[in-house]
């Protein structure tokens, strides 16, 4: 089975590949530290982490998925929502 | 009168050596088959001085097909193994003709394992086995007249066989690993996909790529943690100065806010002022790694560029041999003579100042190299040196003079301010004795913060106190300089080959950018190898082989034995590889396809949001950008693209029309970014 976030094979019995699984574990560990440091809930924590420029890209992908905001899961997919403001160059 | 053939490593070195050895300083310049050689007269002998073009012989497969495992090899002329090296064949032929009627031979190649091996192979395969017994070896660390003549006078009676054997074994072992593993990778992809793509891995490349991968995983899985700092400013003597909360990082927000609340707008008391003096030692002399790192720090030159520039300076006799590990200068090198030479250059006043001292002893580092001293200027005044070469020369000269300088002294002032029981620090510092720093400017990192006069007990008002949230940062990705250091620490590769390995990683598409980011293909290579043959990525195996190769140089182990051990180590790895070739090929191929798709994806379609990729027209062969929705008939958006140069996605969207912004990179031109839509109104505005 493929990882839910990239083209790699998922670890058996898990949604993620080794790397995204590692990122997921790190997010869980970090949440404990964040809670000790400040008054913060799970959703707000995920939003903070996903918007923080220091967050690694795999950790961000996992955070966004956990937030239910990650639109495309393929490696070449764009994480940006479509913005059909103009249609030009149509052949 | 005897006729002696002197073999040099490069044409520029041959010219210098000929000029130094000829008693009149004007050797006769001759050409044979387009190869320049020199005739010099010395002590009644006729010296024929000819150069190679680096290695003229290389290891190659002995017969058979393009497959693996391959353990049959032989030494052949480079131009037979590599058609692009045709010019070297002419050198071989010219040397062969010049070696007729010669009574003696001298190896005057660079004094290291590569230089020794270059001359040995030429003597053995071009001049005949018997020449080896009649050959002698010149040893020098700089190409000045003085050094060359000294090397001529003190020539050894035989070739340096331990170095030659070490060089031979290194080439053979590297070839065995490189050819077998690279073919295994390339053939696995070909078998799985039907496509050919050159892939390579070697015994040093593997662990190096593994370092980059490990760091990349750290960076990509990093989750920042919050902490707080107290940013505060105080007014002292009419100046606004930053003060630091003595408690440093605060782990909890509540605690930080409490400090902010209690200190804001308060007046504190200056509790104590302490002054201390810090003595800063001069920097050590450069070895190659130090020079490459420093050149990267100050000029952002890649290690391979620095090496190339330093070698050119060496061939012009401006600096000593750069491929050295040594940070030491033996007493036989006359520092005063070098400085006297530098008096004639732009460094005159600085050199004069050093020469006026009674004793001159450079600061040396721990590392040593039995063959060569640390990199230093020779004292020969450079002529017409400019650009990057001049910069490297300046760095080397200033470092050499700085190493001879005195300690610098820095005065540090630290004041403690008590505000409501919380302690703040005010720190300042300035250099009071520049010492060696004067010689090393502009490359010294100096930070001056001068404080106004401070008295204990004086009241200090805090103008600003703010608890600021910060976040922990991921480890830095490797850049070429830090990776070189990591390779040195791990004892993999040699001072001469490390820079080349980094270039190969870029060339193969395993890494990109600086700092270095591993590509999906690089990831796939490391993952696959760590799964099926982790030994290739193991630092231990490479390091143990390096140590054995060094032991050959010391005469402690035989070269053939080390090569045999390498073959035995490779056999099980290649057997396992062969058994799983299809699976390995499929994994790597998936990454290659992912890389190609990513490289061709320019952004998302402004109409449907799916991918815009680069395609080529079937008939015209011209490239254009099109939406992938075309394949299922859902979208027909296309845009024309520039036909020349490389096109990259920027990840940005045009603010006016929402179409992707692309970057076009053409040779000799500055890259430019443009909206992919030729009808975008933003272009009309610009026109």
In angstroms, the CA B199 to CA B179 distance is 10
A77 within some domain: no
B425 Cβ partners below 8 Å, 6+ apart?
Answer: B243, B244, B245, B246, B414, B415, B416, B417
Q: How far is B218 from chain A (nearest CA, A)?
A: 8
In angstroms, the CA B437 to CA B278 distance is 14
A6 within some domain: yes
Burial category of B391 from C-beta neighbours within 10 Å (exposed 0-12, middle 13-18, buried 19 and up): middle
Alpha helices in B232-302 (DSSP H): 253-263, 288-299
User: What are the residues facing B31 on neighbouring strands?
Assistant: B36
- Residue B653 contacts A where some CB pair is shorter than 8 Å: yes
Nearest CA among B117, B435, B52 for reference residue B277: B435
Say if residues B266 and B462 touch (Cβ distance below 8 Å).
yes
- Ordered structural domains, chain B, with CATH: 3-159 (3.40.50.140), 168-220+477-590 (1.10.460.10), 226-275+408-433+447-471 (2.70.20.10), 288-403 (1.10.290.10), 605-686 (no CATH)
Across the interface, whether the CB atoms of A59 and B220 are under 8 A apart is answered: yes
B370 Cβ partners below 8 Å, 6+ apart?
Answer: none
Across the interface, whether the CB atoms of B225 and A34 are under 8 A apart is answered: yes
Can you give the residue range of the structural domain that contains A34?
1-72
Q: What's the residue count for chain A?
A: 91
Report the Cα–Cα distance between both ends of chain A, in Å, rounded: 38
Which residues from chain B sit within 8 angstroms of residue A30, using beta carbons?
A: 223-225
Across the interface, whether the CB atoms of B590 and A7 are under 8 A apart is answered: yes
Q: How far is B512 from chain A (nearest CA, A)?
A: 17
Strands (E) across B111-174 are located at 135-137
- Residue B611 contacts A where some CB pair is shorter than 8 Å: yes
How much is the pLDDT for B592?
A: 81
Q: A7-38: per-residue pLDDT in tens?
A: 788 999 998 999 999 999 999 999 999 999 99
CA B631 to chain centre: 46
Nearest residue in chain A measured CA to CA from B660:
A83
Q: Which residue in the set A39, A56, A76 is minimally distant from B597, CB to CB?
A: A76
C-beta neighbour count of B140 within 10 angstroms: 23
In angstroms, the CA B566 to CA B36 distance is 40
A90 within some domain: no
Nearest residue in chain A measured CA to CA from B613:
A76
- DSSP class of residue B472 equals -
Say if residues B317 and B380 touch (Cβ distance below 8 Å).
yes
| Rounded average pLDDT per 10-residue block, chain B, 687 residues | 91 94 93 94 93 93 86 93 83 93 92 92 93 92 92 93 93 93 92 86 92 96 96 86 90 94 88 90 94 93 92 93 91 90 90 91 89 91 91 96 94 90 90 92 84 84 90 94 91 84 91 88 89 87 87 91 93 90 87 79 85 85 87 86 86 84 85 87 63
- How many cross-chain Cβ pairs, A to B, lie less than 8 Å apart? 127
Q: Which residue in the set A27, A33, A84 is minimally distant from B607, CB to CB?
A: A84
**Number of domains chain A contains:** 1
DSSP characters for B611-659?
Answer: EEEEEE-TTT--EEEEEGGGGGTS--BEEE--SSSEEEEEEEE-TTT-P
In angstroms, the CA B78 to CA B60 distance is 9
Interface test with B, best of A18, A26, A56, A64 (most B CBs within 10 A): A56
Nearest residue in chain A measured CA to CA from B603:
A78
A83 within some domain: no
Say if residues B626 and B612 touch (Cβ distance below 8 Å).
yes
A35 within some domain: yes
How much is the pLDDT for B684?
A: 63
Which residues from chain A sit within 8 angstroms of residue B607, using beta carbons?
A: 84, 87, 90
Q: Which residue in the set A37, A88, A91 is minimally distant from B251, CB to CB?
A: A37
Place of tokens 């890259």: B671
Q: A37-73: per-residue pLDDT in tens?
A: 999 988 899 999 999 999 999 999 999 998 875 434 3
Q: B387-409: per-residue pLDDT in tens?
A: 999 999 999 999 999 999 999 99
Say if residues B374 and B286 touch (Cβ distance below 8 Å).
yes
A11 within some domain: yes
Across the interface, whether the CB atoms of A91 and B638 are under 8 A apart is answered: yes
A80 within some domain: no
Distances (CA, A) of A22 to A77, B299, B400: 22, 37, 48
How much is the pLDDT for B453?
A: 80
Nearest residue in chain B measured CA to CA from A26:
B223
Q: Which residue in the set A30, A80, A88 is minimally distant from B680, CB to CB?
A: A88
Q: How far is A4 from chain B (nearest CA, A)?
A: 16
Q: Which residue in the set A34, A58, A90 is minimally distant from B636, CB to CB?
A: A90
Biggest CA–CA distance in chain A, Å, is: 57
Q: What's the residue count for chain B?
A: 687
Place of tokens 């030994």: B535
Nearest CA among B325, B406, B417 for reference residue B360: B406
pLDDT higher than 50, residue A89: no
Nearest residue in chain A measured CA to CA from B216:
A56
User: What are the residues facing B615 on neighbouring strands?
Assistant: B624
Q: How far is B590 from chain A (nearest CA, A)?
A: 8
Which tokens hold the place of B249? 């990082």
442-471 of B, contacting A, C-beta below 8 A: 471
Across the interface, whether the CB atoms of B473 and A76 are under 8 A apart is answered: no
Interface test with A, best of B221, B229, B610 (most A CBs within 10 A): B221
Say if residues B611 and B628 touch (Cβ distance below 8 Å).
yes
- DSSP class of residue B383 equals S
How much is the pLDDT for A81?
A: 32
- Residue B255 contacts A where some CB pair is shorter than 8 Å: no
Pairing of strands B239-245, B267-280: unpaired
How much is the pLDDT for A82?
A: 34
A48 within some domain: yes
B676 Cβ partners below 8 Å, 6+ apart?
Answer: A89, B602, B603, B612, B625, B639, B641, B654, B659, B660, B661, B662
Interface test with A, best of B223, B620, B634 (most A CBs within 10 A): B223
Question: Phi and psi dihedrals of B389, rounded to 5?
Answer: -60, -40
Across the interface, whether the CB atoms of A78 and B606 are under 8 A apart is answered: no
In angstroms, the CA B143 to CA B313 distance is 10
Which tokens hold the place of B94? 């010219």
How much is the pLDDT for B32?
A: 92
Distances (CA, A) of B323 to A89, B115, B124, B684: 57, 11, 25, 56
Active-site residues of B, by number, are 321
């Amino acid at each position: 089975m493929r990882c839910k976030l990239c083209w790699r094979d998922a670890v058996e019995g898990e949604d993620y590949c080794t790397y995204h699984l590692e990122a997921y574990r790190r997010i869980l560990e970090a949440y404990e530290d964040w809670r000790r440091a400040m008054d913060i809930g799970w959703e707000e924590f995920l939003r903070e982490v996903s918007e923080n420029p220091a967050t690694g890209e795999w950790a961000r992908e996992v955070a966004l998925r956990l937030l239910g905001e990650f639109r495309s899961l393929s490696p070449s997919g764009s994480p940006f929502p479509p913005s059909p403001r103009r249609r030009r160059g149509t052949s | 009168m005897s006729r002696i053939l002197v073999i040099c490593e490069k044409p520029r070195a041959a010219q210098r050596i000929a000029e130094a050895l000829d008693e009149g300083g004007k050797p006769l310049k001759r050409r044979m088959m387009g190869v320049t050689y020199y005739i010099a007269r010395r002590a009644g002998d006729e010296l024929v001085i000819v150069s190679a073009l680096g290695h003229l012989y290389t290891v190659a497969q002995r017969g058979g097909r393009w497959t693996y495992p391959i353990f049959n090899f032989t030494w052949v002329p480079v131009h037979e193994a590599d058609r692009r090296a045709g010019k070297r064949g002419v050198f071989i032929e010219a040397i062969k003709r010049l070696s007729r009627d010669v009574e003696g031979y001298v190896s005057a190649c660079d004094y290291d394992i590569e230089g020794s091996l270059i001359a040995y192979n030429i003597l053995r395969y071009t001049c005949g086995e018997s020449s080896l017994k009649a050959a002698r070896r010149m040893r020098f660390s700089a190409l000045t007249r003085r050094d060359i003549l000294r090397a001529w006078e003190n020539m050894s009676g035989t070739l340096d066989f331990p170095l030659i054997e070490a060089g031979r074994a290194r080439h053979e072992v590297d070839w065995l690993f490189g050819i077998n593993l690279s073919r295994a990778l390339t053939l696995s992809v070909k078998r799985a996909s039907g496509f050919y793509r050159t892939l390579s891995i070697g015994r040093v490349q593997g662990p190096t790529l593994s370092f980059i991968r490990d760091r990349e995983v750290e960076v990509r899985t990093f989750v920042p943690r919050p902490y707080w700092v107290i940013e505060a400013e105080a007014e002292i003597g009419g100046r606004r100065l930053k003060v630091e909360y003595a408690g440093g990082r605060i782990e909890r927000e509540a605690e930080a806010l409490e400090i902010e609340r209690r200190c804001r707008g308060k007046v504190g008391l200056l509790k104590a002022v302490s002054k201390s003096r810090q003595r800063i030692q001069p920097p050590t002399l450069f070895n190659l790694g130090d020079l490459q790192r420093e050149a990267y720090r100050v000029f952002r030159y890649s290690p391979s560029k620095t090496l190339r520039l330093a070698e050119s300076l060496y061939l012009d006799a401006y600096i000593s041999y750069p491929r050295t590990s040594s940070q030491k200068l033996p007493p036989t090198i006359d520092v005063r003579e070098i400085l006297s030479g530098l008096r004639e250059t732009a460094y005159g006043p600085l050199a004069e100042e050093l020469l006026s001292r009674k004793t001159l002893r450079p600061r040396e580092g721990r590392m040593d190299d039995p063959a060569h001293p640390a990199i230093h200027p020779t004292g020969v005044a450079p002529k017409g040196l400019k650009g990057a070469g001049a910069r490297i020369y300046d760095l080397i000269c200033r470092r050499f003079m700085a190493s001879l300088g005195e300690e610098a002294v820095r005065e540090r002032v630290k004041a403690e301010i008590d505000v409501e029981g919380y302690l703040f620090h005010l720190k300042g510092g300035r250099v009071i004795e520049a010492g060696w720093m004067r010689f090393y400017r502009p490359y010294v990192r100096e930070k001056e913060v001068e404080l106004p006069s401070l008295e204990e007990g004086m009241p200090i008002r805090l103008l600003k106190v703010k608890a600021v949230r910060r976040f922990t940062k991921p480890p830095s990705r490797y850049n070429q300089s830090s990776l070189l250091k990591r390779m040195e620490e791990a004892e993999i590769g040699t001072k001469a080959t490390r820079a080349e390995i980094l270039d190969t990683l870029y060339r193969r598409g395993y890494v990109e950018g600086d700092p270095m980011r591993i590509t999906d293909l690089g990831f796939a290579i490391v993952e696959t190898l760590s799964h099926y043959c982790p030994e290739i990525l193991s630092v231990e195996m490479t390091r143990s082989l390096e140590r054995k190769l060094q032991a050959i140089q010391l005469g402690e182990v035989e070269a053939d034995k080390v090569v045999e051990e390498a073959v035995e180590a490779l056999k099980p790895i290649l057997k396992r590889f062969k058994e799983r070739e299809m699976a390995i090929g499929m994994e790597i191929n998936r990454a290659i396809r992912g890389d190609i798709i990513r490289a061709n994806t320019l952004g998302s379609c402004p109409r449907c949001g799916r991918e815009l990729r680069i395609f080529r027209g079937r008939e015209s062969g011209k490239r254009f950008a099109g939406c992938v929705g075309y394949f299922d008939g859902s979208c027909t958006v296309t845009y024309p693209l520039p036909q020349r140069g490389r096109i990259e996605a920027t990840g940005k969207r045009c603010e006016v029309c929402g179409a992707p912004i692309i970057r076009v990179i053409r040779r000799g031109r500055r890259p430019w970014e443009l909206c992919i839509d030729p009808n975008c109104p933003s272009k009309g505005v610009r026109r």
